[in-house]
Chains A and B, each alone.
Chain A
Amino acid sequence: MRYLSFIFGQLARNFRHGWTSQVMTLFTVSLSVLIFSFFFLIYVNMEKASSRLGNELRLIVSLEQEVPTAFRPEFKKKITDFAKVDKIVFISREEAFARLSKQLGRDSDILEDLDPSFLPYTVEIFPAGDLKSLTRIKDFSDYLGSLPGAVKVQYGQEWLERFGYFISLLRMIVILSGSLLILTSVFMVSYTIRLTLESRQEELEILRFLGATDRYIRGPVIVEGFLLGLLGACSGLLSLFFLFQWIKNHFSGPGFLNFFELSFLPLANSGSIFLIALLLCTCGSLISIRKYLKV
């Protein structure tokens, strides 16, 4: 108890003597946390969107002729031999025609004189959830194309490919920016704590002469690092939350962002960002005090 009261007394004294650098460190830590978690937030939402996209994904195989009902189970088996599938739907020319005219809506009268025979027979395949990666989808599509009677396979290749690249680019950015930000914040925290220690060098020397133990000197510095991490992480994550709310309110409605259905970082993620910031700040202060503990 007394040890704690000493630590906080010293902490208050240090803060009174050098609050500018402490505030600067706090600012750095919260900014680093904010930037990193911002990228992370984007990444998490992208991942979510891509899995949602995966759920809505279907491959459309155009066929030369309709698969007779008797052969359908065999046809299905050929498909499910290659990959798990949620659903396989055979679509007749008439159904396709009806769908098209529904899609056209008011312009459907242009179809009036046409015969459904201009449309191909198709099979829609809804891959199961585990068919996520782009290469797997490609392989699947190649396989479907090689089935007897298949003419063409469509699944919005180009769009999916771009989206895939975008996701992996984003993953890179998150990893890179994350490691850079971790480095900078460790550096900044240990640097500012070292600055405060340097300005207190005379005091530390006198403390040494008076017989202050390592524990006495180390205690307040570690608690200081810990508090910097705590406050920095809290304010960083809080600002992210408010930024997120703002973006959500200003960009919601129909359009691109709506499709993503933005969601905030899950508790586990924000919790680990918080813990990592805390750990790094404490370690940073430990590292910077080490030099001064050598008598």
Chain B
Amino acid sequence: MSSSATAPTIDTALIDIVKVTKTYPPDIMALDEVSLTVGHGEMLFLTGASGAGKTTLLKLLCFLETPTMGLIEIDKRDIGKLSGHKLQQMRQHIGVAYQDFRLLPKQTVYQNIALAMEVRYENPKFIKQRVVELLADLGLTDKIHTPTAKLSRGEQQRVSIARACANRPPLILADEPSGNLDPAATSLVMNLFHRLNEEGTTIIIATHDQTLYQKSPHRLLNLENGKLQEIIKVNFDLS
């Protein structure tokens, strides 16, 4: 196995999840004592049946939900203790492609992607350049001024992925990034992810899509009924 597939040691860890349990009311146990360490610059796949808790785990990492029990550290900081300005700054450094996209329907593709950079007060010229670049990468160049409500699901999905990548954040969380995409579009997205990963971005991808991880050397984790286990892949590509 390649070096990137081995679990990181604590001092290189970007994310440290320790015995995290999440229950939704009334008593739905979405995550059950999950522990996971993710290293700087790692790419990681998260699989599991529908309802296994993948989205829940990602939501915990981007502050959309708080754990019922347990500890989550990002960059050695207990994220349960972040609030106000610190929390918002942390959010600026995590790119999230939500399963339900969370785009602004009335605003254009350009505006939706630019927003992620505007909240960081980036240079307008830079923003423009970056949006054009991302849209070219994802095959959406001709949709730049279309309101996102008028896009197909697959196009909306790519816009949300472009927004997640816009700031070149150190951490990207992608929830079912190929859920609505054909193989060609999927490979555009994965190429982008791989490129960012090579530049040092840590990426966590939750997916049902075997083609995404089958041939990749990266770690694969499986969630089942809220319990996390690592899958050791038999890698056919090993020479």
Give the B-binding residues of A (Cβ under 8 A): 2-3, 5-6, 9, 13, 17, 202-203, 206-214, 216, 295
Beta-carbon contact of A17 and B88 below 8 Å: no
> Could you say which residues of chain B place their CB within 8 Å of the CB of A210?
91-92, 115-116, 119, 163
Residue-by-residue, is B83-101 near A (CB-CB < 8 Å gives 1, otherwise 0)? 1110111111110100000
> Could you say which residues of chain A place their CB within 8 Å of the CB of B115?
206-207, 210
How far, in whole Å, are A207 and B116 apart by their CA atoms in the complex? 8
Looking at B5-13, B34-42, B120-128, B212-220, the stretch in contact with chain A turns out to be: B120-128
> Could you say which residues of chain B place their CB within 8 Å of the CB of A2?
121, 123-124
Beta-carbon contact of A213 and B119 below 8 Å: yes
Cβ of A5 to closest chain B Cβ, rounded Å: 7
Beta-carbon contact of A213 and B85 below 8 Å: yes
> Could you say which residues of chain A place their CB within 8 Å of the CB of B88?
208, 211-214
Q: Which of A202, A203, A216, A295 contacts B87 (CB 8 A)?
A: A295
Known: A202-B104, A211-B94. 4 other contacts (CB 8 A): A2-B123, A5-B124, A207-B119, A211-B93
Cβ of A6 to closest chain B Cβ, rounded Å: 6
Cβ of B150 to closest chain A Cβ, rounded Å: 17
Q: Which of B92, B103, B104, B124 contacts A211 (CB 8 A)?
A: B92
Interface flag for B118 (CB, 8 Å)? yes
> Could you say which residues of chain A place their CB within 8 Å of the CB of B118?
6, 9, 216
Q: Which of A9, A203, A209 contacts B64 (CB 8 A)?
A: A209
Q: Which of B62, B89, B104, B123 contacts A203 (CB 8 A)?
A: B104
> Could you say which residues of chain B place their CB within 8 Å of the CB of A17?
106
Give the A-binding residues of B (Cβ under 8 A): 62, 64, 83-85, 87-94, 96, 102-104, 106, 111, 115-116, 118-121, 123-124, 163
Given contacts A210-B91, A210-B92, A211-B92, contact A216 B104 (CB under 8 A): no
Beta-carbon contact of A295 and B104 below 8 Å: no
Beta-carbon contact of B121 and A6 below 8 Å: yes
How far, in whole Å, are A13 and B104 apart by their CA atoms in the complex? 13
Question: Can you list 18 A-B contacts with CB-CB less than 8 angstroms, sorted by A residue number?
Answer: A2-B124, A5-B124, A6-B121, A17-B106, A203-B104, A206-B104, A208-B88, A208-B91, A209-B64, A209-B102, A210-B91, A210-B116, A210-B163, A211-B88, A213-B85, A216-B118, A216-B119, A295-B83
How far, in whole Å, are A48 and B106 apart by their CA atoms in the complex? 57
Cβ of A292 to closest chain B Cβ, rounded Å: 14
Beta-carbon contact of B91 and A209 below 8 Å: yes
How far, in whole Å, are A203 and B102 apart by their CA atoms in the complex? 9
Beta-carbon contact of B91 and A214 below 8 Å: no
User: In the complex, what residue of chain A is closest to B85 when comparing beta carbons?
Assistant: A213
Cβ of B112 to closest chain A Cβ, rounded Å: 9
Cβ of B120 to closest chain A Cβ, rounded Å: 7
Given contacts A203-B104, A206-B104, A295-B87, contact A211 B119 (CB under 8 A): yes
How far, in whole Å, are A149 and B155 apart by their CA atoms in the complex? 106
Cβ of B11 to closest chain A Cβ, rounded Å: 27
Cβ of B180 to closest chain A Cβ, rounded Å: 20
> Could you say which residues of chain A place their CB within 8 Å of the CB of B92?
210-211
Q: Which of B85, B96, B123 contacts A209 (CB 8 A)?
A: B96
Question: A-B pairs with the 9 shortest C-beta distances?
Answer: A211-B91, A211-B92, A212-B119, A213-B88, A211-B88, A210-B116, A210-B119, A216-B119, A211-B119
Cβ of A168 to closest chain B Cβ, rounded Å: 52
> Could you say which residues of chain B place their CB within 8 Å of the CB of A206?
102-104, 115
> Could you say which residues of chain B place their CB within 8 Å of the CB of A216?
118-119, 121
> Could you say which residues of chain A place their CB within 8 Å of the CB of B96?
209
How far, in whole Å, are A5 and B122 apart by their CA atoms in the complex? 11
How far, in whole Å, are A5 and B102 apart by their CA atoms in the complex? 26
> Could you say which residues of chain A place their CB within 8 Å of the CB of B83?
295
How far, in whole Å, are A268 and B12 apart by their CA atoms in the complex? 67
How far, in whole Å, are A228 and B87 apart by their CA atoms in the complex? 32
